[in-house]
């Protein structure tokens, strides 16, 4: 397995139009986002990258949306994902759509997101699966320099492993779009429904929803142990009382 961190800089796409079949991919990811947005609550929702900025989140219950990128016209904050200009634990939800593939240090990006995300906050990740009909076309010489194949595609299981190291709980994982986009949408939809139950792990795209979990520094003692100690102490006191009472009676006898 190749290391995740590299020294080469890869320019991330600033718009879905830069990707091959970008509109098709954005519509599929938008459908998953629309399903999860009503389940997220908080005050601040951060979208990282130009692709995330172009995804709508009108059904989200979080009032303040932050669009972070370097070049996308929809941005309202100009910064890089590796150096987020926010204080610790100030963001309630983060969306990164196809950003890990173009990061020289994806581990560092996830650690930076973990720094600004509140406890029990949501992290939504979308990406392309390298082990799919869409991903394996990166071996073709005329595809290697085009988006999204010019980036480093990571499997969803590797991304979930990174999240586990940071103590995130994956609450939802879905792989979809087993067949690449075609001009015949009706035939594509029929084939997709027929294959999804058998080859879902080979989907061209994946969508992961994870929650940040924290372990308290001071562990809470279980209640049954405390009750047991109180019961034992009460029993000892009663035995001591009985012993003292019997001793007094024996002393009172002539």
**Assigned CATH for 16-212:** 3.40.50.150
pTM, entire model: 0.80
Q: How far apart are CA 115 and CA 50, in angstroms?
A: 21
**Omega into 105 within 30° of 0, i.e. cis?**
no
Contacts 24+ apart (CB under 8 A), 221-225: none
Which helix (H) or strand (E) element contains residue 121?
A: strand 117-128
For residue range 97-128, list pLDDT tens digits in order: 999 999 999 999 999 999 999 999 999 999 99
Coil/strand/helix, residue 26: helix
Q: Where are the chain's structural domains?
A: 16-212, 219-254
Q: What's the rounded mean pLDDT across residues 58-87?
A: 94
CA-CA distance, 113 to 48, in Å (whole number)?
10
Other residues' Cβ atoms within 10 Å of the Cβ of residue 14: 19
Q: What is the pLDDT of residue 188?
A: 55
User: What is the spatial distance between Cα 33 and Cα 97, in angstroms, rounded to a whole number?
Assistant: 10
Bridge partners of 96, per DSSP, are: 48, 125
- Sheet of 117-128: strand order equals 77-78, 64-69, 44-48, 91-97, 117-128, 205-212, 168-176
The chain-wide mean pLDDT, for the chain, equals 84
In tens, the pLDDT along 175-222 reads: 988 777 655 565 556 566 666 666 677 788 999 999 999 876 566 666
Please answer whether residues 180 and 149 qualify as being in contact, where contact means their C-beta atoms are separated by less than 8 angstroms: no
Token output for 141: 């010489």
Q: Give every CB contact of residue 134 below 8 A, 6+ residues apart in sequence.
A: 128, 177, 180, 204, 205
Rounded to whole angstroms, the maximal C-alpha distance in the chain is 113
Phi, psi of 138 (to 5 degrees): -65, -15
């Amino acid at each position: 397995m190749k290391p995740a961190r590299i020294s080469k800089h890869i320019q991330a796409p600033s718009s879905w139009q830069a990707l091959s079949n970008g509109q098709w991919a954005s519509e599929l990811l938008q459908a998953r986002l629309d399903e999860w947005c009503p389940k997220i609550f908080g005050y601040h929702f951060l979208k990282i990258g130009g692709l995330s900025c172009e995804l709508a989140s009108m059904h989200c219950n979080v009032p303040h949306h932050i669009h972070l990128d370097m070049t996308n016209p929809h941005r309202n904050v100009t910064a890089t994902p590796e150096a987020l200009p926010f204080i610790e634990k100030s963001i309630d939800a983060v969306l990164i759509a196809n950003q890990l593939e173009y990061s020289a240090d994806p581990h560092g990006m996830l650690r930076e997101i973990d720094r600004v995300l509140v406890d029990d906050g949501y992290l939504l990740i979308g990406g392309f699966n390298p082990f799919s009909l869409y991903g394996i076309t990166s071996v073709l010489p005329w595809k290697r320099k085009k988006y999204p194949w010019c980036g480093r595609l990571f499997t969803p299981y590797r991304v979930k492993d990174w999240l586990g190291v940071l103590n995130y709980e994956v609450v939802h994982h879905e792989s979809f779009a087993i067949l690449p986009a075609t001009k015949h949408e009706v035939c594509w939809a029929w084939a997709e429904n027929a294959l999804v139950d058998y080859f879902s792990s080979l989907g061209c795209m994946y969508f992961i929803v994870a929650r940040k979990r924290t372990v308290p520094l001071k562990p809470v003692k279980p209640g049954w142990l405390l009750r047991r100690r109180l019961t034992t102490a009460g029993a000892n006191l009663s035995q001591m009382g009985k012993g003292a009472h019997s001793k007094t009676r024996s002393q009172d006898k002539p």
